[in-house]
Amino acid sequence: MRDIPVNTRPLDGPPPRIDGPEGATDCHIHVYIEGHAPQPGGPPIAELATPDDYVVVQRRLGLTRVVITQSNAYQFDNGATITGLKAIGAETARGVVVVGPDTTDAELAEYHTLGVRGARVMNLPGGAVGIDGMAEVEARIRGLGWHLMVQFDGREIERHRRALEAIRTDYIIDHTGKFLAPVPADDPRVDTLLRLIDRGNAWFKVAGLYETSRTGAPDFADVAPIARRVIAHAPERVIWGSNWPHVGVARENYPDDAVLLDNLAAMADEATRRRILIDNPATLYGFA
């Protein structure tokens, strides 16, 4: 008997309008795999979401490479992420794990060999490591050349600015800045975000617009302008992720992955999209 139901989310459908060129990368998915149980402190797992499930989504979108991000449900247990990496292979997959006080140097070395290139910092409910633990994590990963993937309520960016400025490795400002109540693109807090990017080690991930948008699909008109402003300002520092399998979203509001990819067409021209989907992820994640 399965403890967690198999996936019932829609995986296939009409392709996106824009082509996914060879080497195009989805920089943010999660996997939920049989035999890996949710951990105390994290959210429950409603359904499995396996590497085989994602292959269907990936094929539909015309993408080639993927970054598996440790789910909050698993907290400090990176087992499912590592299982997913092994299933897909380091030629086309990378990983972002959670690094805790009990993570050994030997584990970090093994993770690196398997394709891990980042550590997750989640300063929102359910996160395993918050910004208060970020400096300790950075010290552990710096020698490996990994980056930090940092998610927080963008409305609090000034509160976290000094901690972000102190980061010496590369780091990603996750989920389109994750302004939990959308703000205009010319908001002073977006100005702060751009200044952080201009320091040279911050990246910006366009992902999860549906999580914070009040106006909704297909345009996410209250959130997308922030992404457009960042892309226009620093296209060389932007990556994209689907955030599949969109956990925590009611089925009636479940986003269409093709629509999420097509949002880039309204944000960037073809040359810039290639940069976001291919060149920038190759630089950050070390894809050949």
pLDDT of residue 1: 37
Instruction: Tell me how far apart the alpha carbons of residues 184 and 206 are, in angstroms, rounded to a whole number.
Output: 16
Count of the separate structural domains present in the chain = 1
pLDDT of residue 2: 62
Whether 15 is in a domain gets the answer no
Cis peptide before 218 (omega within 30 of 0): yes
pLDDT of residue 95: 98
Q: Which of 76, 93, 97 is nearest to 85 (CA)?
A: 93
Beta carbons of 184 and 225 less than 8 angstroms apart: yes
CA angle at residue 38 from 33 to 40, to 5 degrees?
165
pLDDT of residue 285: 98
**Which whole-number Å values give the CA distances from 154 to 124, 126, 174, in the listed order?**
11, 17, 10
Three-class SS of residue 148? strand
Whether 17 is in a domain gets the answer no
- In the chain, the N- to C-terminal Cα span, in Å, equals 42
195-200: long-range contacts (C-beta < 8 A, 24 or more apart)?
196/157, 196/161, 196/164, 196/165, 197/173, 197/230, 197/233, 197/234, 197/237, 198/234, 199/165
What CATH number is given to the structural domain containing 35? 3.20.20.140
What is the tens place of the pLDDT at every residue in 181-237? Answer: 999 999 999 999 999 999 999 999 999 999 999 999 999 999 999 999 999 999 999
Whether 239 is in a domain gets the answer yes
Whether 16 is in a domain gets the answer no
Tokens linked to 134: 């970020």
Whether 10 is in a domain gets the answer no
The domain in which residue 39 lies consists of 25-285
Could you list the active site residues? 243
Whether 11 is in a domain gets the answer no
Whether 104 is in a domain gets the answer yes
Instruction: Tell me how far apart the alpha carbons of residues 119 and 114 are, in angstroms, rounded to a whole number.
Output: 14
Whether 30 is in a domain gets the answer yes
Residue 111 makes CB contacts below 8 A (sequence gap 6+) with 78, 82, 95, 97
pLDDT of residue 3: 84
27-47 as b/e: b if 16+ CB within 10 A: bbbbbbbeebebeeebeebbe
pLDDT of residue 268: 97
pLDDT in tens, the chain (288 residues): 368 999 999 999 999 999 888 999 999 999 999 999 999 999 999 999 999 999 999 999 999 999 999 999 999 999 999 999 999 999 999 999 999 999 999 999 999 999 999 999 999 999 999 999 999 999 999 999 999 999 999 999 999 999 999 999 999 999 999 999 999 999 999 999 999 999 999 999 999 999 999 999 999 999 999 999 999 999 999 999 999 999 989 988 999 999 999 999 999 999 999 999 999 999 999 998
pLDDT of residue 43: 96
Beta carbons of 285 and 117 less than 8 angstroms apart: yes
- DSSP secondary structure, 61-98, as one string: HT--EEEEE--GGGTT--HHHHHHHHHH-TTTEEEEE-
